[in-house]
Amino acid sequence: MRGLLDMPIDIIEKILKKLEHGERATFRNVSKACRQTFDSINYTFETVEFSGYRNNVWLIIENCLVEYQRRNILRQKDKSIIKKWTVNVKLDEDPWSKALEEFTRIFGNPKHLIQELHFNYKGQLSFITGSLKSLGHQLNVNSFELSRDFDGRYNARGEVQTQTMEILPFLKAGVLEDLSFECLPDLTDHPKMFFKKVIKTDQWKQAKRLYTNFCITNMKLSDLMHFRRLDVDYDSIKTKDAMYIRDNCKNLPGFEKYSFRSNVDSEKILEKFGSEAIVLDDNSIQDGFLLISVTPGLITFEKMNQ
- Residue 197 above 90 pLDDT? yes
Does residue 242 lie in a domain region? no
Same-domain check for residues 53 and 155: yes
Distance of CA 199 to CAs 32, 78, 167, 189, 202, Å? 44, 43, 14, 22, 8
- Judged by average pLDDT, the poorest of 78-92, 99-113, 219-233, 288-302 is 78-92
Q: Which of 219, 247, 262 is a domain's end point?
A: 219
Distance CA 97, CA 101 (A): 6
Residue 291 forms part of a structural domain: no
Domain final residue, candidates 194, 219, 244: 219
CA-based radius of gyration for the chain:
23
pTM listed for this prediction? 0.84
What is the four-CA torsion angle of 267, 273, 277, 281, rounded to 10 degrees? Answer: -20
Helix/strand/coil (H/E/C) assignment for every residue in the chain:
CHHHHCCCHHHHHHHHHHCCHHHHHHHHCCCHHHHHHHHCCCCEEEEEEEEECCCEEEEEECCEEEEEECCCCCCEEECCCCEEEEEECCCCCCHHHHHHHHHHHHCCCCCCEEEEEEEEECCCCHHHHHHHHHCCCCEEEEEEEEEEECCCCCCCCCHHHHHHHCCHHHECECCECEEEEEEECCCCCCCCECCHHHHCCHHHHHCCEEEECCCECCCCHHHCCCCCEEEEEEEEECHHHHHHHHHHHHHCCCCCEEEEEEEECHHHHHHHHHCCCEECCCCEEEECCEEEEEECCEEEEEECCC
More confident residue, 66 or 91: 66
Give me the helix-helix angle, 126-134 and 95-106, nearest 10°: 30
CB 178 within 8 A of CB 144: yes
Percent of the chain with pLDDT over 90: 36
* Segment 71-86 mean pLDDT: 45
Judgement on whether residues 12 and 63 belong to the same structural domain of the protein: no
Q: How many domains does the chain have?
A: 2
Residue 22, domain extent: 1-41
Looking at the structure, tell me whether residues 156 and 63 fall in a common domain. yes
The reply to whether 201 and 63 lie within a common domain is yes
Give the model confidence (pLDDT) of 171-183 as tens digits.
999 999 999 998 8
Domain boundary among 219, 241, 274: 219
Going by DSSP bridges, is the β-strand pair 278-279/284-287 parallel, antiparallel, or unpaired?
antiparallel
**Does some domain include residue 52?**
yes
**Across the strands, what pairs with 171?**
139
What is residue 81's predicted lDDT score, i.e. its pLDDT?
38
- pLDDT beyond 60 at 214: yes
Same domain as 202, residue 88: yes
197 domain residue, yes or no: yes
153 lies in the same domain as 75:
yes
Whether residue 258 lies inside any domain: the answer is no
The pLDDT of residue 15: 77
Convert the pLDDT of each residue in 132-152 to its tens digit: 888 999 999 999 999 876 655
- On whether both 112 and 179 belong to a single domain, the answer is yes
Q: Which residue has the higher pLDDT, 230 or 233?
A: 230
**Does one domain contain both 5 and 65?**
no
Residue 22 and residue 113 in one domain? no
Domain-located, residue 112: yes
In tens, the pLDDT along 235-247 reads 889 999 999 999 9
Query: What b/e readout covers 74-92, taking b as 16+ CB neighbours within 10 angstroms?
Result: eeeeeeeeebbbbbebeee
How many CA atoms, within 13 angstroms, populate the side-chain half-sphere of residue 256? 10
Residue 101 lies in a domain: yes
92 and 188, same domain (yes or no): yes
Nearby residues of 198 by Cβ (< 8 Å), 6 or more positions away: 161, 164, 165, 168, 204
Model confidence at 92: pLDDT above 90: no
Is residue 165 very low, low, confident or very high in pLDDT (cuts 50, 70, 90)? Answer: very high
304 within some domain: no
Band (115; pLDDT cuts 50, 70, 90): very high
Higher pLDDT, 215 or 83: 215
**Res 86 pLDDT > 70:** no
In a shared domain, residues 55 and 27: no
* pLDDT at 257 > cutoff 50: yes
**What is residue 13's predicted lDDT score, i.e. its pLDDT?**
74
* Claim to verify: residue 213 and residue 157 sit in the same structural domain: yes
pLDDT digits (tens, 9 = 90+) for 3-41: 666 677 777 777 777 776 667 767 676 777 777 777 778
Confidence grade of residue 167 (pLDDT, cut at 50, 70, 90) = very high
